[in-house]
Structure 1
């Protein structure tokens, strides 16, 4: 049977994308095949999503689209495994961090069309942000296919492949920064005597509301911050403390460290 999409790797991100595709009617569940080495994982996906599964990566031979959703550390083995059976007309979409399109093209053979994508974990609830970059041979139609697939689980932006390391640092790793901020806010709330659930509700709505306000208003972050920072007030005291502690330079340094690590992975 010809499969529209084969996911090589069936982790949480692959599951989220597959579920989004079915939900958005990009294709029927029976046209999706997911591969993994864990039988219990495959059984769960069959039950939960209604997709087909296999422990054998050679099922890519029947695919229109292959999504490489494995860890970067095992990508070489996976590419070697599927290269002999992959059809030249199959579009390859990789969501593996740090693995260049050129490396994938070289491993899979001349003529392979590759799209690289850097999604993030809010895709698990359909609220992801994905950077999409075309390899050397991918065309406009291929980019549109990738945008449609990733659009099933959030927003997409097109970037040059050279910028994907920065995308990885900003949005790929970005949810962790927000969780770290929330972790810190909740720790402070506990020290100040607030009930745990009360603090959680207030903190989550504050972060979500602030992001929505910036998105809907179109204003810059600095402008919105200034509007709630009256000199001598409580917010002013907090912002002064953050500036004295070097919070902004520390965040910039952290993102650059993530960018550098992404470049190292692409080696």
Structure 2
């Protein structure tokens, strides 16, 4: 299920930047040790403030509002990481975050301590700690590419979603380099067609591909890497921490980006690997 097109210069640049980023981070070895390095206390501000994450969180909240309105819904977030999306969901939401990494789960628990409606538990594929049909809406973002048997994983997602319930699902759609397995634990990437086929085979009907604005986010990433490098250099020169994300310029830019990329809730992007799907009713 790898991307079939030939790699271009930007694909090669992506690989080079990833190699550079992983110089001081754990490479994929034993699964638990690798995933325990995904999030640390130093990553919290970056994860919460990065406009790419804010765009996704707001997209999830908008889609949930369109699907359920003011009705209470149970949302199960598989591979929830820091469970940051929970902050953006309606107060009536019953949120269940499932995370494989004990270290990440402990950090998420500290961040959400005392927050009503949020339940966090450890688990992962192939057997999620969720009962049959418990989810009105399941979320699974950038997880299945880390699983050797992706078909079994998506069948497990279908099991936890009630008939007629929904899944918001995303996987990488960029070119796949075999080195990604050792760098970040990715066994494959997808095209829009292969991602849709994966869901259909598991019992989902794809409602639409959510526009990903992939070209924009790619060039944003290059600017983001350059800005982080400048912030790091300034921190070293001044002896004081310089945060990209707390700057007024970044916050203003984030607001502008979110306004421009607001999802219309209707358009289907056939090439997208960010999919809204509905579990078939027997």
TM-score (norm. length: structure 1):
0.44
- Give the number of the structure whose alpha-carbon radius of gyration is greater: 1
Is the helix fraction higher in 1 or 2?
Answer: 1
